[in-house]
Every structure is written in structure tokens, then in C-alpha cells.
Structure 1
């Protein structure tokens, strides 16, 4: 599909603007192919856990499958088996592929295809936990009591075989119908318990609408809201539990790389309380921010506005590496705990290094020198790739919004004010789902208003709205 001026409706312009790589260096590809061909390295000194009935839960059509899980009930509570793709098997430290992966930092997802962290022969093939395939993994086993409190944690290298690949909506449907797959029949019970612990810890969940760009089936694009059902939340809790277990191992051993966020100061909390009062939201003095947010109705405009205001509390997240001396900050305020990235090594550089640290610590072995050598560089490498990914994501959304709205200049839309400023506001349109700036005066957060589309520039990727003044 093309625009009226003949320009193709793809994201080549975004790729060019941010100089995203289009292919891997030949030396990196050669190393990946050699690693796949050398099947003996897949076995090595590994536990055979291919009898575990692990399954994957990912968006439909996913091929880069990082995690497979099996949740079982035990006499004393639960046991989570969580297999993570083992990239340490395939990436030679200090080699050409390692250098390219460090340069990329993470997979960048665009609506018309991704820019992968690893060559597809690995990320969608030999390293991916595809169903029915024996794969090397870092296998976590975490025991929890009947209240969902974790106890013994073990991680080791193992061979695993996923028995099925599911998506979130499909799993949710089976749970709602009362016939979940046996491997995840205990997920709802454990997931609910872990969500309760998250609120008790002070974890902040902001249920803001998540925009997505999808094909419209005719060669163009449409804007959608990404649904998040209970299974999505429960599955995320399994990943968070593993990441918190990894952080505990790192802190105890005195070496690792954590995802950190400082606690918000009292001024920021009081500012949020004033915002809640102005929106008519009752926030008891005895309730934490997490408890208050968990009690909101995500569908109300007042809640959306307060979620947007609460994003202020999550600014300043970063990565903290340490070796020998614990840093002053070891926790992530948004999660209410120490946390480390280890569950998505196909898509994120730091997870491979985090996995190697945990594997060594759990086996009471020294952390490899090649890990220690790169450790101080990881915060900068990940920070740079996070910034780039955020810019690309925003550019793709901006481009799609301009394409979708270009034929609607002059039309009026219903909107909700998310954040009010002196002479403008951030607004949310539900149809089409657009978050944009709007010119005007006397905005009130949470207010329903009418807005008029003034411009939709597909070249500059800009849309402009103005507040409609009622004659009544």
C-alpha cells in the first residue's frame, strides 16, 4: 500500500533515521552457524530435564522463545520450573558474534519486522525453546510455600524440551473454561499470590493503555490497544520472581548487575496525593502508593490520568554493576525489591551475563573472567540500547498515527485529558487509540473533551489537535 504521493507505507524511514543494522557481519554469522553445527556442545555437563512438561506462553507467531515454564503444586506449596534459553552455549566470549551482540544491546521490534539481537539461526532456531525440540537452558527451580513465599532456589544448565507453545488469549480461554493445560493449571493460584505480594512490597503497576501498530490486512497499518489479561500478569510474575531470585544470588555473592530505581522522594509522593485529590480519587493516608494504584478502576478517565502522573515515580531506572563491594542502591523502587534481568537472553544482552553469574554462584564456582571483564560496561551498553529502542518505538507510533489520521484532518474526536499543562494537554483518543498533544486552555486531568485534528504530517510524523470550545 502507498500514500497518495506514492510513498510506501513501511518503516524504512525509521530504520534509516536511526541507522538500524540490516544484516549481521559475515564473521558473526559464521560463528553462529559453527555453533549450531557443533551439536556436541549442547550436551556437555548438563542435567537431562527433558521429562519436565514445560510449555511456552508468548504472543501469537513468536519464534524467539526465551522462557518455558511448568508450575506444579507440592505438599508444601508450589514449585516453579523456569527454563531460560542458554545463549552462553552459542556465543563465544570475545568473538565476532559477541562483539556484534554487545553493539546491538537488544532486539528492536518494528511493526514490519524486528532487528534481532542474535542471528535468526539462533534466536528463532537452535537457541529458541521451540516445542518438541531439545534445547540447552538455564533451568531455574524455585520452591514456594502455600502463601507464595519463595524458599529454596536452584539454577543449573540442563537440556529441556517444551511440549507445547501457547499464547496469552488461548491460555486465558482454557482457564476461564475450567480446563487449563496441566503444566500451568497451578499458574492462576500462584500468580494471584505473587500479585498480592507485589502490592505488599510496594510494586507499582500503571495500567495505562498500551498502543500497538498492526497490519490492517490491506498493506497498511492500524492502531490498536494491546490487551493485558490475567494470564499475561501471572506469567509476568513468574519472570519477576526469577529475576528477584537472581538478584538475591548476586547480592549474596557480591557480584552481578541489577536493574535499579531510586525511591521517590517525599515531595513526589505528596505531589501525587495532590493530583489524586484534584481528580476526586480517595487515597487513605495509611495506604501506600501501590495499594492505592491497585484499587483503581483502569477504565475510568480519572484513573488513566493518575496512572500518567504516577509515571513520574518511575523515572531514573538504570543498571548497576558490582564486583566485590555492594552498591549503595540495590533495589528497584517500582518493584519493591532487588531485581536482575536474566529471563530474556535471546532479546536482551545483559541477561546472558546475569545467567552466567547465577549459574556460577549456584554451582559454587568462580564467575568466569570474561563475564567480570565486561561487567562494568554493561550499564552503559544497556542504557544506550534502551534509549535507542524507546526512540524507535516512539517514531513508529508517531508514523502510524500520522498515516491513520491523515484523511481525517478537520474532524472532531472524543478524548480524555491525561496530563494538563498551561496551554496544552496530553490526551488519549479511544478511537483510533492515539496519545497526543492538544493545544488549548483550562484543561482538567481526567476530563472528557472534544478535540479537532488540525494536521497529520506523515513526513514529520506529527499530529496536531486543538480543544473544541463548546458554544453552550
Structure 2
């Protein structure tokens, strides 16, 4: 699901990086791993628990940003005799390295997830594992949970299997290069099929009423020695690749529900009035949204390369609030059990190097396919796992929100007093003179306050920058 990505491209060192360091200190982010955790990770890297099944003959490949080294997933796509497709999807087997109850396991429960700052990452596991022994790096033989998902000619799931195996990725690809190969028609079939399968899965997503938000990334870009925030639109291959992950997460949820024990990623339906507020935001951004067109249809019609559309997609993420992790045992599957944006039962299981819950979901699925009870360490941890993940998610969301504020403040600190064109995209119900604006010419969303009149939700106004302090991570505007 979408998360706002921020890239720092030659951004001014001060005060931005100083503010980011201060933020990590304020939030008590655990950057350095304790010596005993590193020692256990070193031992695990030298002697992981390896499976007997050898599937290194499958020519897997990964698709990640060029600088990434924590590679959770590798895939191979093929056509099946008689029609349809076979998806092999290898997920890094973190449990082969982490001993339940050990110091490495305890540290992972303390961290919960990798935290992403614009200037660095704070990893869930020591880098010698997450970017080394456990990572699905090209040419490196590693233990994995190897999924085999057979699809029919329309992309619907026909059969599923997942088991432990040794795998080896053949190539580390990046999104831009894959898109170029597919567009040019030079991609070999296992890679070219990513488009075919991705488009089929997107069609099925539309059929079941699911929505994938193509939320743009924010980038700090230099123009003539000045810096600005701009949006970078995702490529089609980003969506096709995400569909393979969504397919696996939905398949994993079905396996756990059939077995009667698991943990789902759930999201309730949007509250009454939420879509109406988005319609007013669309009006402010001059996006034509006829009344007979549904929310799902308008989202799919948007072009994230257009600034107004990019801004609206950011606003659409408000409908994703309320997502959580729901544990169930003894066959008592919760109701509702679906993720409203996926429009199906779904779980997180494809990023165990970066997210704690995925290690547990993988174990549950392997046990379900084998017709066995989950390991005791999984059953013991399940009751408290949803709360652990909730706390970790809150911290990750705080990091994301504060980082955006710091970056916006750092880039606008010398422009206090200037007037900008903006769109009112939100108004506080109990304080109608306070709300949120999206600047017309910058990828900046900030608070507006200090006026005497009710803010016109869904309309354009002029606002004056009154505060931009990276130290306090605050950007404030007032009606001009």
C-alpha cells in the first residue's frame, strides 16, 4: 500500500540534515545495534538453518531501486502448457537466521520495521543480514520461502504452493531499466510477462472493486542553485510489480483463513462524508469528477505526472486511515476480514527483511500448505503481534510526517513573508478558520491558520508564509 517516499537530491546540508538528526534523537530511534545483537547476527550469517530443497535452477530476478541492497523478493514468470501463467516468487527466509527468543529476535521486536528517513535508513535487522546473508542478491545462494502460484489465462489463481528452498537470483534489475526494456520490446519473456500478468491482475482488481493509489514520490530538486519540492510519478512497471506482491499477500491470507490461524492486514470502509470531502478537494484542484463517476473510477483516471492530480492522490490516502493487523486463531476468522482498498482478504508477507509481521505470516503459510500446526514460537507471539505492529506503524507514520515537515521547512525558510497560490484541501470541523492547503506551484501541503473567516473548502486562495522553521519542523501559512 502507498507510503509517501521522499528523495533528497543534493539538498542543502544545513539545516536539513541537522534537523533530521535531531528528529531521530527526539523519537529515540534505535540506530546502532547492540554488540550482542551484531555478534548473534554474525553467527547466524555463517550458519543459517538451510532447507533441503534446492531450487537454485530457477532463474529468478529482482526489481528494486538501484541503490537497494535489502532485497526481500525475487521472481520468475513463465507461461504454462495449456494456457495461463506460473509465478515463482521467492521471499527472503529471515527465520533461517533469527532464533526465536534470542537477542536478534528481541531487537527486531523492539524496532518492528525499517524506518525511512530522507538521508538514511534505520534497518530492522543488522545490515550484514538484511543487505548481505539474508538478502536475495544476484549470484548469492540464500534460503527463501518459495511461492509457486499458478494463474489461468485471465490471471486468476488456480493453485498455490509455498515451501522452504535454496534460491539464487540471476539479476538485480531496477524499475527504470525494466520499463525501458518492456517498452522497447527487448525484454525476455520472464520479464515481459510482468506487463501481461500485471495488466490482468489490475483488471481483476477493478472487477472486485479494489484500488491501487499511484501516489507520487516527493523529490527535492535543484534549479539554478535553488531547491524545490516536486513530484515524481510512478511508472507502469511499479504497478505491475506491486500486483505480484498483492497477489501473494491475498493468496497468503486465503491460506491462513483456510487453516484457521493467521494475521490479516485489514482496513475498514471509508467513513461517511470522506468521499464528499475528496470531491471538494477535487474541485479545488480543478479535477473534473462527475457525480455519476465512482471514487475508484476517478482515481484510475488520474495522471500522477500532472501536479494537480499528484496533489489529489496525496489527499486520497486519507481514506486509508484506520488500517491495522487482525490476529485470529482456532478457526475464528474475524468479520470483516477484508482490506477495503484491496477489496479482499490480504496480509503482509513479502517484506520480512523490513517488516516484522512478514516473518510470522510466512511461517503460518508454510505450515498451512504442509497441513501442520504453526511453530510454537509463532503461536505464542500471535496474540501480542497486532499491538506490536500497531505501535511500530505509528512510529513509522510519525517519522514520515515529521520528515515531510522538516523538508518543507528547510526549503521554505528563506521565503517567509512571500505569498503563494494554494488550494484549500481540508478544514477543521470545530475550527473552520484552520485547515490545510496545497500550494499550487510546489509539492507542499501545510497548515493554514490565523484568518477571521471560515476557510472555503474546495476553493483556491492566496496564502502568506508565516513560519518555516526546520528546527521545530513547522510550516505555517495565513490567508493573504
TM over 0.5: yes
Q: CA deviation at 1:152?
A: 0.2
- The one-character-per-residue Cα deviations of 1:291-347 (angstroms, maximum 9, x if unpaired) are 343234556677567646644432221000111122222111111000011100000
Cα distance in structure 2, aligned partners of 1:112 and 1:309? 25
Between 298-307 and 412-421, the greater mean CA deviation after superposition: 298-307
Cα distance in structure 2, aligned partners of 1:29 and 1:381? 23
Cα distance in structure 2, aligned partners of 1:399 and 1:20? 16
Aligned in 2, Cα 1:454/1:89: closer, same or farther, shift over 3 Å? same
Structure 1 residue aligned with 2:263: 257
Structure 2 residue aligned with 1:20: 29
Q: What is the TM-score with the length of structure 1 in the denominator?
A: 0.89
- Indicate yes or no: 2:352 matched with 1:345: yes
Cα distance in structure 2, aligned partners of 1:235 and 1:463? 35
Cα distance in structure 2, aligned partners of 1:338 and 1:169? 31
Which secondary structure state, in structure 2, belongs to the residue aligned with residue 232 of structure 1?
helix
Unaligned runs of 5+ in 2: 1-11
- Indicate yes or no: 2:324 matched with 1:318: yes
Structure 2 residue aligned with 1:372: 379
- Indicate yes or no: 2:185 matched with 1:173: no
Cα distance in structure 2, aligned partners of 1:275 and 1:9? 35
- Indicate yes or no: 2:391 matched with 1:381: no
Cα distance in structure 1, aligned partners of 2:420 and 2:188? 44
- Indicate yes or no: 2:473 matched with 1:461: yes
Contact 1:128–1:135 under 8 Å retained in 2:
yes
Between 447-456 and 11-20, the greater mean CA deviation after superposition: 447-456
Cα distance in structure 2, aligned partners of 1:22 and 1:297? 38
Structure 1 residue aligned with 2:65: 59
Structure 2 residue aligned with 1:435: 445
Aligned in 2, Cα 1:304/1:65: closer, same or farther, shift over 3 Å? closer
Q: CA deviation at 1:410?
A: 2.3
Contact 2:424–2:436 under 8 Å retained in 1:
yes
Cα distance in structure 2, aligned partners of 1:24 and 1:350? 20
Cα distance in structure 1, aligned partners of 2:190 and 2:282? 42
Aligned in 2, Cα 1:35/1:275: closer, same or farther, shift over 3 Å? closer
Cα distance in structure 2, aligned partners of 1:425 and 1:301? 21
Structure 2 residue aligned with 1:415: 422
- Indicate yes or no: 2:436 matched with 1:426: yes
Q: Find the partner of 1:289 among 271, 290, 295.
A: 295
Which secondary structure state, in structure 1, belongs to the residue aligned with residue 444 of structure 2?
strand
Cα distance in structure 2, aligned partners of 1:430 and 1:177? 35
Q: CA deviation at 1:227?
A: 2.9
Cα distance in structure 2, aligned partners of 1:464 and 1:114? 28
Q: What is the TM-score with the length of structure 2 in the denominator?
A: 0.88
Q: CA deviation at 1:179?
A: 1.1
Contact 1:302–1:445 under 8 Å retained in 2:
no
Q: Find the partner of 2:233 among 227, 235, 253.
A: 227
Which secondary structure state, in structure 2, belongs to the residue aligned with residue 48 of structure 1?
coil
- Indicate yes or no: 2:241 matched with 1:241: no
Cα distance in structure 1, aligned partners of 2:192 and 2:216? 29
Between 30-39 and 409-418, the greater mean CA deviation after superposition: 409-418
Contact 1:71–1:187 under 8 Å retained in 2:
yes
Contact 2:280–2:458 under 8 Å retained in 1:
no
Cα distance in structure 2, aligned partners of 1:27 and 1:307? 44
Cα distance in structure 2, aligned partners of 1:174 and 1:417? 41
- The one-character-per-residue Cα deviations of 1:334-377 (angstroms, maximum 9, x if unpaired) are 11000011100000000000000101111222210110000111
Unaligned runs of 5+ in 1: none
Aligned in 2, Cα 1:115/1:306: closer, same or farther, shift over 3 Å? closer
Q: CA deviation at 1:118?
A: 0.4
Q: CA deviation at 1:180?
A: 1.8
Between 381-390 and 303-312, the greater mean CA deviation after superposition: 303-312
Q: CA deviation at 1:3?
A: 4.1
Aligned in 2, Cα 1:305/1:173: closer, same or farther, shift over 3 Å? closer
- The one-character-per-residue Cα deviations of 1:194-227 (angstroms, maximum 9, x if unpaired) are 11111222213344444356899x9x98644243
Aligned in 2, Cα 1:418/1:264: closer, same or farther, shift over 3 Å? closer
Aligned in 2, Cα 1:179/1:18: closer, same or farther, shift over 3 Å? same
Cα distance in structure 2, aligned partners of 1:134 and 1:351? 21
Structure 1 residue aligned with 2:99: 92
Contact 1:55–1:183 under 8 Å retained in 2:
no
Q: Find the partner of 1:103 among 99, 102, 110.
A: 110
Between 406-415 and 79-88, the greater mean CA deviation after superposition: 406-415
- Indicate yes or no: 2:53 matched with 1:37: no
Contact 1:321–1:379 under 8 Å retained in 2:
yes
- The one-character-per-residue Cα deviations of 1:221-270 (angstroms, maximum 9, x if unpaired) are 86442431100011001000000000000000000000011233566556
Contact 2:19–2:471 under 8 Å retained in 1:
no
Cα distance in structure 1, aligned partners of 2:78 and 2:207? 24
